[in-house]
Amino acid sequence: MTKNDVLLALESVCDPEIPTISVVDMGIITDVVVIDENNVRVAMTPTFVGCPAIDVMKNDVLQAVKGMGVEHVQVDVNFDVPWSTNLVTEKGRAALLKHGLAPPEQFDTLALELEVLNNVACPYCGSRNTTLKSPFGPTLCRSLHYCNACLQAFEGFKPV
Amino acid sequence: MNAPAVKDLLFRMADDELILAHRHSEWTGLGPLLEEDIAFSSIAQDKLGHAQAMYAIMHEHLDEPDPDTLAFMRNESAMKCCQFVELPNGEYDFSLMRHYLFDAAEYVRWTALTQSSFEPLAKLAFKIRGERKYHLYHAQTWVKQLGSQGSEESHARMQTALREAWPYALGMFEPSEADAALIADGVFVGEQEIYQQWMAFLTPTLTEAALHIPDQVEPVYGGRKGYHTEHLQPLLTEMTEVYRIDPSAEW
């Protein structure tokens, strides 16, 4: 069993609030150590520190690795690798779009300017003629926008 | 590392976040616009997360009880929050002004903490820098808009809110006996330094908002030593009401 086998198994674990994206594609699995066939350690990190879904995801990760027949599984939640939306994979970005959420804009982690939120591409029609309505949405990681081209409100996955 | 000094710092910061999170959450369902309702609710949730993360650091590294016990089972006199965060929400102008003054302080404080020699705190500081930006952006936008781009009434209300908030806001930087050790160990730059950076940080925004910073004001101290306003105990009673019914319950 390799690290990749574990990652493959974790592709079945989804964010409970956005069920089309796996924890791997979300970029929140920060380390996997396969000690031997019966000992695996996984490190993960929350998107936002106050994310209420982290305990559910932690348990789902644990069960998924146990489901591979691994006897001892340890899942640690830590901030060793600080999560950023830049860690969302291409596949993850496509999954967000499929869920009707504008994927996060890529940005320089040291100089996040919130102006990038002003013209987020609409997930329905692709237009960038959009307006930020609020940087706060129904979950901590989402923002609210309005598309002036197709006249629809939409949500975005906000860059952090 | 001086453990009691680090705990003093973490209790100050975590208790501020916990209590202000509770105050912000009181806007849930009552905000003047739906977006504002959601904004205050989201910021409350983030702040609660930050408080929990700091209590968790104390639990894991400094032999303190678990985060729920720290948050819900301490008496009023053991709380180290500044009096600023306990004040009732008042009207929206006061809530916004407090949100701005607090988050500006938090911005400079957490930026300094990314350099902390206490690694768990430095990691947390680095982690939350993105979240924090959204809080500050929200507060700053409204302070500027209502200060200089609104009406005479909105300007007057924001100026009054600033005047009323100011003595309490200065209380965020109450000197602590722990600071000397924290500075010596490279854990934290100290309240005096944070206060100076905060003033430098605030001034351009408040000037742009056409708001006058009160001068010759006596700071309201006491919170860091466990002396609180009459508003804290009712807040604690309400916040811990469910938890205290059965502290051993699994949620």
Q: Do A82 and B42 touch (CB under 8 A)?
A: no
Two structure tokens written together for B20:
């202000």
Which pLDDT does position B181 carry in this prediction?
A: 97
Residue B69 lies in a domain: yes
Contacts of B122 in chain A (CB under 8 A): none
pLDDT by residue for chain B (251 residues), tens only, comes to 899 999 999 999 999 999 999 999 999 999 998 989 999 999 999 999 999 999 999 999 999 999 999 999 999 999 999 999 999 999 999 999 999 999 999 999 999 999 999 999 999 999 988 888 889 989 998 999 999 999 999 999 999 999 999 999 999 999 999 999 999 999 999 999 999 999 999 999 999 999 999 999 999 999 999 999 999 999 999 999 999 999 888 87
pLDDT, tens digit (0-9, with 9 covering 90-100), for A18-50: 888 999 999 999 999 999 999 999 999 998 898
Percent above pLDDT 70 for chain A? 96
pLDDT, tens digit (0-9, with 9 covering 90-100), for B201-213: 999 999 999 999 9
Q: Is the pLDDT of residue A114 over 60?
A: yes
Q: Is the pLDDT of residue A107 over 80?
A: no
Count interface pairs A-B at CB distance under 8 A.
70
Residue B251 lies in a domain: no
Q: Closest by alpha carbon to B15, among B102, B96, B90?
A: B102
Rounded CA separation B71/B234 (Å): 15
Cβ-contact A47, A26 below 8 angstroms: yes
Domain hosting residue B57, numbered range: 3-245
Tell me the pTM. Answer: 0.91
Helices (H) and strands (E) in chain A, counts: 4, 9
* Long-range Cβ pairs for the range B135-140 (8 Å, 24+): B135/B43, B135/B46, B135/B99, B135/B103, B135/B106, B136/B103, B136/B104, B136/B107, B137/A114, B137/A135, B138/A135, B138/A136, B138/B39, B138/B43, B138/B99, B139/B96, B139/B99, B139/B100, B139/B103, B139/B104, B140/B100, B140/B205
Residue B107 lies in a domain: yes
- Residues of B near A (Cβ–Cβ under 8 Å) read 35, 38-39, 41-43, 45-50, 52-53, 123-124, 126-128, 130-131, 133-134, 137-138
Q: Write the DSSP symbol of residue A114.
A: G
Mean pLDDT, rounded, of chain A: 91
Task: Give the mean pLDDT of A109-132.
Answer: 82
Closest residue of chain A to B46, computed from CA coordinates: A50
Q: Which fold is adopted by the domain A3-77?
A: GMP Synthetase; Chain A, domain 3 (3.30.300)
Residue B250 lies in a domain: no
pLDDT, tens digit (0-9, with 9 covering 90-100), for A43-94: 999 988 988 889 999 999 999 999 999 999 999 999 998 888 999 999 999 9
Two structure tokens written together for B218:
């006596």
Which pLDDT does position B154 carry in this prediction?
A: 97
The total of structural domains in chain B comes to 1
Rounded CA separation B178/B225 (Å): 12
Residue B39 lies in a domain: yes
Residue B102 lies in a domain: yes
Residue B132 lies in a domain: yes
Closest residue of chain A to B251, computed from CA coordinates: A55
CATH code where residue B143 lies = 1.20.1260.10
Cβ-contact A10, A25 below 8 angstroms: no
Q: Where are the domains of chain A?
A: 3-77, 99-157
Q: A112 pLDDT band (50/70/90 cuts)?
A: low
The H-assigned helical ranges of B62-128 are 67-72, 83-86, 92-113, 119-127
Question: Which residue(s) pair with A154 in the sheet?
Answer: A145
Kindly report the nearest CA distance between residue B157 and chain A, in angstroms: 23
Distances, alpha carbon B180 to alpha carbons A115, B192, B195, in Å: 40, 11, 16
Which pLDDT does position A78 carry in this prediction?
A: 92
Which pLDDT does position A113 carry in this prediction?
A: 65
